[in-house]
Amino acid sequence: MMSFNIWGGGANERLGTEATASAIEASGADVVGVQETRREGDDEDRSLTGASCAPALAQALRFHYYDQPVGDYPLCSSAIFSRYPIVEISPRSLGVKLDVGGVHVWVFNVHLYEGHMGMADLQSGKLAGEAGVTEALRTTDEKHGPQLQVLFDDMSIAIDDDTDAVFLTGDFNEPSWLDWTDAAFNAGRNAAAVRWPTTLHLAKWGFVDTYRSFWPDPLEQPGYTWPMPFAAPPADEVHLERIDYIFACGEQLVVSRSTVLSAVPGHRWPSDHMAVLSDVSFRITAR
């Protein structure tokens, strides 16, 4: 399973889709949730523009795919690719049901609001102390809370007793509560200990953060996914963060590998994000 903000499929680096397709192919991923299938515009809001690169990627990979409708967050401009047939689309287009040789798996894919968020203000010192954490959580939940509710509503309608496992990929534009810990704060890694709401809500829903499950210590393996060095803002504004995720929910879930990818043979890396790759197994429901 792979999650990858592809930054217009390389278009923002003035590349074709070859590097993106090669990165996915080299990973060996069977299922990929991608975000930003359209180029980031040059306007102040960096609005996504142009045609989706999803059809070209699917053709290059020879994967089944679902080009999610263009819309406001949490849809934005995203797509899901799979080696396995897509047999159903969720009511709000955030997920697809896959038939993996008779095993039924739902895969949801989101891109949460990317505007002014509390994590940057905490790291820069614009927000500080308990009051700063409270304000960061307020602004984050104000934007991401309604988007997460749309996701939960979609999942609640789509998932049925015929489902063996559920996966969620996405660019959350929000850190994890498992990363901004007391230990990370005491080590000077983060500006505060923060129970970031989106990943915390998912944990309460029974979802496992696959990367942090495999690498439980954020000090030893921070797993940063943004930004790539060539795409970083000015030095006084940048702080590496883990904001791209693969979540999983299923019986007897086992994560046997999880890694962050930032290189592809024969090409320049095509995105301002690194990709996440996890190998996950689960018990199949008896029918």
Per-domain residue ranges for the chain?
2-281
Q: Is the pLDDT of residue 117 over 80?
A: no
Residue 132 has a pLDDT of 94
The predicted model gives 227-243 an average pLDDT of: 70
Q: Where are the beta strands (DSSP E) in the chain?
A: 2-5, 31-35, 39-40, 48-49, 64-67, 78-82, 86-89, 95-100, 103-111, 165-171, 208-209, 244-250, 254-261, 275-281
Global pTM reads 0.94
pLDDT at 9: 78
**Tens of pLDDT, residues 140-163:** 999 999 999 999 999 999 988 889
CA distance 108 to 93: 9
> Length of the chain in residues, anyone?
287
Predicted confidence band at 46 (pLDDT cuts at 50, 70, 90)? low
Find the angle CA(276)-CA(50)-CA(12) to the nearest 5 degrees: 50
pLDDT band at 286 (very low <50, low <70, confident <90, very high): low
* pLDDT tens digits for range 49-92: 678 999 999 999 999 999 999 888 887 889 999 999 999 999 99
Q: How far apart are CA 253 and CA 115, in angstroms?
A: 34
Give me the pLDDT at residue 128, please: 92
The pLDDT mean for the chain works out to: 90
CATH 3.60.10.10 fits 2-281, yes or no: yes
Measured torsion, CA atoms of residues 143, 149, 154, 160, in degrees rounded to the nearest 10: 150
